[in-house]
Amino acid sequence: MTPNDPRKAQKSLAALLAPDILDLLESEPSTVAAETEDLHPADLADVAESLPHSQIPLFLSALPAPRAAAVLEYFSEELRTELLEAMSPEQAAALVDAMTPDDRADTLEELDEAHAGEIVDALPSETRRNTQQLRAYEPDSAGGLMTTEVVSVPDSYTVEEALRRVREIARSGRREAMNAVYAIDVDGTLKGVMSLRELLAAPEGARVTDVAWPEVRHALVTADREEVARLIAEYDLVAIPIVDDRHRVLGVVTVDDVIDVIQEEQTEDVQKLGGMEALDQPYMQMSVGAMIQKRAGWLAVLIVLQMFTASAMERFDAELMQLPILMLFIPLVMSGGGNSGSQATSLITRAMALKEVHLGDWWRVAIRELPTGLVLGVILGAIAAARVFLSQHAFDQGWDLFGYTLGYNFERDNGPSWQLVAGNVFASLTAIVMFGSMAGSMLPFVLRRLGFDPASASAPFVATLVDVTGLIIYFSVALLILGKFMG
Amino acid sequence: MTPNDPRKAQKSLAALLAPDILDLLESEPSTVAAETEDLHPADLADVAESLPHSQIPLFLSALPAPRAAAVLEYFSEELRTELLEAMSPEQAAALVDAMTPDDRADTLEELDEAHAGEIVDALPSETRRNTQQLRAYEPDSAGGLMTTEVVSVPDSYTVEEALRRVREIARSGRREAMNAVYAIDVDGTLKGVMSLRELLAAPEGARVTDVAWPEVRHALVTADREEVARLIAEYDLVAIPIVDDRHRVLGVVTVDDVIDVIQEEQTEDVQKLGGMEALDQPYMQMSVGAMIQKRAGWLAVLIVLQMFTASAMERFDAELMQLPILMLFIPLVMSGGGNSGSQATSLITRAMALKEVHLGDWWRVAIRELPTGLVLGVILGAIAAARVFLSQHAFDQGWDLFGYTLGYNFERDNGPSWQLVAGNVFASLTAIVMFGSMAGSMLPFVLRRLGFDPASASAPFVATLVDVTGLIIYFSVALLILGKFMG
């Protein structure tokens, strides 16, 4: 095993183990559990996924129920659903019963309503009640994310009593998150928090109230899961208690679930920024038809918006006919504006997602983007003007490359000089890049102010907005600088 | 305090407390520590940041050193640097000495070389040696991320001996990450891992070797920090041991540092996707000049690439002069390709970052994108063709809106019929959107294959590539369909 690339090592581990496990399943299924007991459930899930799918239920049934449930939690959603739907409700219920409460609720959420209902009916009554409660919360809320197995001790305990209680819970074999121990009063109200470490470090004879921190970061059960993620990240927590409106502890959200939330939210943001609806599924697991649906909507909206460019061109077609060289730089000028707008939007959307920039900061951002856009515009304008000079110079000198004529003559009969053409490109690019930076940076604020998700300000959306406006800016500048050549 | 919005509550807490703290600093500085002892260091940092900057050193000196160090860790990089550079090396060293080893190394990394050197020289010798070791690792490696304070016990211990040892460490007041306890042999080689919970749950008389898991997820000290983050996320760990090439434990990376890594890497990816260099700093903390540098490079490269559109137009200018209506749809057709390309790139780049899609999957992606691009192209082409029909129809009927003439006449003397114009737009958009989806989805694979970061395939980069190619496709389709009208 090369410690450098554990992933590759794990993959080959799965490939290596799979044939052995298949043999064992045929000859001595009772030894499978012992043979694999040192593996992390994530690795065991890799091994299981590399077995023929028909053998996976047999493999799972050869493991103790809590172990099989843990493996199931690491399967892909697709495979988990396929397996559970192939089992009888009683078989599925036995597996699901052994899962942690939060994963159980999430797993049932993935199945179709009817099948999930049958499995819930086959669960033992206590698990069933707990599952129904958890499933009643919005999947995107703190309640939808939490597990109900909390380690709590009465705040009247001594530290030694608390440690004894924690040890009992740990030995009970239930799979509570034990990262933090909560002190509660007789009504179940949250009174304090301590880590196992703090409990262990407490001097002999100390009481829970001496050790526990009374100011506990917590989240309301109805809070958005992004808010829960933010609190855990900001305060470097390993777990956060979830309370009802009377401050009673209902459950706990652990940091590993929050990492998943952060990655999912980030995926959604990138996809929205790319100009589509969030897929909500891994790319490869999605059907082509479903993906087209997620992607076509925004593209259709954008092309309709983009039609205003055709309208603008139609309005200016008399000028264009008289001065066709105007045409040459339309794509160049438009894309300069679109690119600077995409930059600004990506930057501000991300800063908003990280809470580095708030709604009230819009004018601070505007003050920064104005000079930034100006300088960027001058740089791009200068490059484009240099290009005009070089083309004209190459034409005047008659340069060629392997017989391919380089250069272009901008100076047609009675038309503007190349200097005027270059000046026109410079001025319009400067104006359009400034406009692009401003529009791109302000749009996320406008969207948030209107109550939309700022991440909907996709790069293609900004580019399209700036294209249309850019074209109008371009023609206006051209009328100003080259107007007299347009008859 | 509304539990619904703890952030707002904290902010107003800071605003509320700041005046009281200023009073206390003047009248009774010795009481500041006791008055604030229940606050989380992150909140105390908020309070400190809302004080006048000249008062912050006084405030920090009123706190016990470990507490002041913890507060310093939650300051913004800017403020932390400002404060440390204003202090004498001895004062700064006293604070820095009380930080956790990983934060100490990171903090010194932020200062300029000379100042950091002076502070290191003023550190107690043991801390100095440890700090110099940590700073020798690449900041982006596991070594640059880890802390050296590991809780380990000899693998020859009984569980009761191990618990006693852990309790000693916990009571020593050092700030080790105690999420996991590692079993090591006499050479310091990693032999197993157990959680505090597993130690507590062990039956009386058990030995460490009975409890510890021998297969420990670990990372080499030279591993990339993204790899460390991936392991922690995939195996739901709270900490991962970092080893040298002889498998000896050098340190540990905890999940809270990994969340920061995940967010930083995501910010970099979004910024690259937006077509700029990663900023490495919060938007608001960056100077306008530095930001222009990060943004101008890619914009300049893109505008140079985009110039090939002008070259393509120059080549086709004879055709354009003969058939100026071709012009009208250039922006529309180009942006359709650019937008579909941006979508595909965002999707594949993100799927690669999440390891959902690997290099070898390129053909699977191609097989999906081909029909997707075709259908999307047909949809967009049909919308654009409908637009041509509507414009012509409005013109033929002489529709207007408040005196503003609607519609446009595509049918000039001896020119093509509107049906041919519409057919041309439909065919070229279909081809270009297909091309955009393919190019956008394949580019990340090409970049990775060439050893570049696939996230460099920014939306603006793809849009520019597709613009240039799209223009050539557009003219080629036009020559095919409308060639006979071009003389």
Counting Cβ atoms within 10 Å, is residue A361 exposed (0-12), middle (13-18) or buried (19+)? middle
Q: Which of B5-19, B77-91, B297-311 has the lowest mean pLDDT?
A: B5-19
* Angle of CA points B431, B434, B439, to nearest 5°: 120
- Are residues A429 and A336 in contact, defined by beta-carbon separation less than 8 angstroms? yes
Choose among B432, B74, B425, B36: nearest CA to B260. Answer: B74
Q: Which residues of B touch A209 (CB under 8 A)?
A: none
Say whether pLDDT at B8 is over 50: no
Shortest CA gap A114–chain B (Å) = 30
A286-485: CATH, from 3.40.47.10, 1.10.12.10, 1.10.357.20, 1.10.10.10: 1.10.357.20
- Cβ pair B212, B183 in contact under 8 A: yes
Q: What is the DSSP letter of A338?
A: H
Is the CB of residue A26 less than 8 Å from the CB of residue A38? no
If you average pLDDT over each of A9-18, A55-64, B309-318, B358-367, which comes out highest? B358-367
Of A3, A266, A270, the CB nearest to B220: A3
Question: Are residues A331 and B343, on separate chains, in Cβ contact within 8 Å?
Answer: no
Is A313 in Cβ contact with B328 (below 8 Å)? yes
pLDDT band at residue A4, thresholds of 50, 70 and 90? very low
% of chain A exceeding 90 in pLDDT:
20
Give yes or no for a contact between B298 and B275, defined as CB atoms under 8 angstroms apart: yes
Residue B175 dihedral angles phi and psi, to the nearest 5°? -110, 45
Residue in the structure block whose two tokens are 């047609």: A412
pLDDT, average across residues A389-410: 80
B250 against A23, higher pLDDT? B250
Q: Identify the three-state secondary structure at position B219.
A: strand
Alpha-carbon distance of B184 to B182, in angstroms, equals: 6
pLDDT category at A174 given cuts 50, 70, 90 is low
Angstroms from A29 CA to nearest CA on chain B: 23
Assess whether pLDDT exceeds 50 at residue A8. Answer: no
Asked whether the CA dihedral B62, B67, B69, B70 is positive or negative, the reply is negative
Is B331–A321 a contact, with Cβ atoms under 8 angstroms apart? no
Minimum Cα–Cα distance from B408: chain A residue? A314
Taking only the tens place, the pLDDT of each residue in A433-485 is 999 999 999 999 998 888 887 777 677 888 888 888 888 899 889 888 887 77
Q: Who among B166, B273, B298 is closest to A270 (CB)?
A: B273
Q: Mean per-residue pLDDT for A428-436?
A: 94
Residue B442 CB contacts under 8 Å (≥ 6 apart), including other chains: B362, B365, B366, B369
| Range scoring the smallest mean pLDDT among A90-104, A141-155, A161-175 | A161-175
List C-alpha distances in Å: A420 to A388, B234, B326. 10, 60, 25
Minimum-distance CB partner of B335 among A306, A313, A343: A306
pLDDT beyond 70 at B157: yes
For A63, which DSSP code? Answer: S
Q: What pLDDT sits at residue A243?
A: 93
Fold match flag (A152-271 vs A286-485)? no
Token couple for B481: 């369909």
Least confident of B148-157, B220-229, B310-319: B310-319
Domain formed by B6-140, architecture? Alpha Horseshoe (1.25)
The C-alpha atoms of residue B18 and residue B54 are separated, in whole angstroms, by 14
| Chain A interface test: which of B231, B295, B367 (most A C-beta within 10 Å) | B295
State whether B170 and A201 contact (CB < 8 Å): yes
| Mean pLDDT for the stretch of residues A152-166 | 91
Instruction: Give me the pLDDT at residue B487, please.
Output: 59
What does the pLDDT read at residue B142?
A: 92
Mean pLDDT of A239-243: 92
Contacts of B438 in chain A (CB under 8 A): none
Q: Which of A266, A280, A287, A388 to mutate to test the interface with B (most CBs of B within 10 A)?
A: A266
**CB atoms B196 and A198 under 8 Å:** no
Q: Rounded distance, CA A276 to CA B342, Å?
A: 10
DSSP letter string over B286-338? S-HHHHHHHHHHHHHHHHHHHHHHHHHHHHTHHHHHH-THHHHTHHHHHHHHH
φ, ψ dihedrals at A392, nearest 5°: -65, -45
Cα nearest neighbour of A192 on chain B: B38
A207 phi/psi in degrees, rounded to 5: -105, 160
Q: How far is the C-alpha of B477 from the C-alpha of B482, rounded, in Å?
A: 8
Lowest model confidence (mean pLDDT) among A135-139, B365-369, B457-461: B457-461
- Please report residues of B whose CB lies closer than 8 A to that of A302: 335-336, 339
pLDDT digit string, tens, across residues B34-75: 888 878 888 888 888 888 888 888 888 888 888 888 888 888
pLDDT, residue A176, reads: 60
> How many CB pairs below 8 A link A and B?
388
* Residue-level pLDDT at A208: 92
Between the CA of residue B174 and those of B97, B98, B197, B251, what are the distances in Å? 12, 9, 20, 15
* Closest by Cβ to B339, choosing from A163, A215, A275: A275
Do A269 and B273 count as a contact with CB atoms less than 8 A apart?
no
Cβ contact, residue pair B460, A220, below 8 Å: no
Q: Do A196 and B201 touch (CB under 8 A)?
A: no
Distance CA A437, CA A369 (A): 6
Please identify, in words, the CATH class of the domain defined by A11-140: mainly alpha
CB contact under 8 A, B313 and A321: no
Q: What fold, for B152-257? A: CBS-domain (3.10.580)
Nearest to A425 by CA among A469, A462, A372, A389: A389
pLDDT in tens, A270-313: 888 877 888 778 888 888 888 888 888 888 888 888 888 878 87
Q: Please name which of B189, B182, B177 lies closest in space to residue B101, comparing C-alpha atoms.
A: B177
Q: Do B299 and A329 touch (CB under 8 A)?
A: no
* Cα angle B168-B254-B285, degrees, rounded to a multiple of 5: 125
Contacts of A260 in chain B (CB under 8 A): 233
Torsion of CA A441, A443, A448, A451, to 10 degrees: 180
Query: How much is the mean pLDDT over chain B?
Result: 84
Comparing CA positions, the residue from A145, A146, A165 lying closest to residue A154 is A165
Among partner residues B332, B361, B460, which is closest to A306 by beta-carbon distance?
B332
B2 pLDDT band, cuts 50/70/90, is very low
The pLDDT of residue A175 is 59
Of A191, A185, A189, A178, the closest CA to residue A244 belongs to A189
Taking residues A425-436, report their average pLDDT: 94
Task: Name beta bridge partners: B220.
Answer: B243
Find the CB nearest A332 among B43, B309, B391. Answer: B309
Contact A296 B375 (CB under 8 A): yes
Residue B266 pLDDT greater than 80, yes or no? yes
As a whole number, mean pLDDT of residues A99-120 equals: 87
**Structure confidence by residue, pLDDT tens digits, B450-480:** 888 777 767 788 888 888 888 889 988 988 8
CA distance A115 to chain B (A): 28
CA within 13 Å, CB half, B89: 12
- Could B324 and A330 be called an inter-chain contact, meaning their C-beta atoms sit closer than 8 Å? no
Class of domain B283-486 (CATH, top level): mainly alpha
pLDDT value for B459: 79
| Confidence band, pLDDT 50/70/90 cuts, at residue A5 | very low
Chain A residue numbers with beta carbons less than 8 Å from the beta carbon of B302 are 335-336, 339
Bridge-partner residues for B183, per DSSP? Answer: B153, B192
- Cβ pair A210, A218 in contact under 8 A: no
Give me the pLDDT at residue B3, please. Answer: 40
Output the pLDDT for position A6.
42
Q: How confident is the model at residue B213 (pLDDT cuts 50, 70, 90)?
A: confident
What's the pLDDT at A301? 84
Q: Return the CATH number of the domain spanning residue range A152-271.
A: 3.10.580.10
d(CA B458, CA B198): 47
Q: Which member of B167, B310, B368 has the closest CB to residue A329?
A: B310
Task: Looking at mean pLDDT, say which of A4-18, A93-107, B318-332, B421-435 comes out highest.
Answer: B421-435
CA angle in degrees (0–180, nearest 5) for B77-B80-B82:
105
Contact A217 B40 (CB under 8 A): yes
Q: What is the pLDDT of residues B296-342, one digit of tens each?
A: 888 888 888 888 887 887 778 777 777 877 888 888 888 888 889 98
In a 10 Å sphere around its CB, with 0-12 CB exposed, 13-18 middle and 19+ buried, how is residue A172 labelled? exposed
Task: Tell me which chain B residue has its CA closest to the CA of residue A316.
Answer: B328
Whether B403 has a pLDDT exceeding 80, the answer reads: no
* B273-300: average pLDDT: 82
DSSP β-bridge partners for residue B228? none
Q: At A189, give phi and psi (nearest 5°).
A: -75, 140
| Helix A418-449 and helix A362-397, axial crossing angle in degrees, nearest 10 | 160
Residues of chain A in contact with residue B141, where contact means CB-CB under 8 angstroms, are: none
Across B277-283, average pLDDT: 80
Distance from CA of B386 to the nearest CA of A (A): 11
Q: Is B23 exposed, middle or buried (CB count within 10 Å of its CB: 0-12, 13-18, 19+)?
A: exposed
Listed by start position, the domains of chain B span 6-140, 152-257, 283-486
A342, pLDDT greater than 90 = no
Q: What CA–CA distance (Å, rounded) separates B108 from B128? A: 12
In this prediction, residues B211-238 reach a mean pLDDT of: 89
Dump pLDDT digits (tens) for A176-196.
Answer: 667 789 999 988 899 999 888
Our CA-based measurement puts residue B440 at a distance from the nearest CA of chain A, in whole angstroms, of: 11
Q: Is the pTM of this model over 0.80?
A: no
Cα separation values, B378 from B250, B428, B437, Å:
59, 10, 13
Going by pLDDT thresholds of 50, 70 and 90, the confidence category of residue A32 is confident
